[in-house]
Amino acid sequence: MRFLFWLSVIVSGIVSVVCFAFTNMTTTSFDPTGVNFVGGNGNPGLMFVMFPMLIILYFFFAMMFVFEKFHGRFLVKRKLFQACYAGMFVLISGITIYRIVSFRNEINPYFEYEISYLNPFSNHLFFNFWTFIACLCVSGFCSFYLKKRI
């Protein structure tokens, strides 16, 4: 049973990393001149995240159990781990929010109506290596509050 758990974590981790990478790579770059106009087909980059969303969520929830095992092997205090996870999450979230707001303010003058934060040009801000690490920090932080052990 333990082997199947670790196999499922590895497979779901690979799927999650690939989905984040494909979403980041398929983001349409913003072209204010309109030479590379994409059309009105919505946000195709999110297809790589929306279809395997259950697998991605499973990975982040399973990582809570992995982090719980990881914390048991070290003699470092619980508060230090929690401070590291919370600090990394706040730092990455702050930088990401700043980049999202500045990108939106940069592209809004080129449109007739106000553009939302999640648009076909901003996937690279939401789905990248750093937001993946931020999600792992949340899993690590939540691992301290699990009631059951495997």
Tell me if 28 sits within 8 A of 45, measured CB to CB.
Answer: yes
**Between residues 68 and 110, which one has the greater pLDDT?**
68
For residue 107, give the amino acid letter.
Answer: I
How many angstroms separate the CA atoms of 108 and 98, rounded? 15
Biggest alpha carbon distance in the chain?
A: 58
Q: How many CB atoms lie within 10 A of CB 29?
A: 9
Return the pLDDT at 120: 76
Host domain of residue 142: 1-147
Three-state DSSP at 101 gives helix
The pLDDT tens digits of the residues spanning 29-77 come to: 777 766 655 555 666 777 778 889 999 999 999 999 999 888 888 877 8
Query: Total structural domains in the chain?
Result: 1
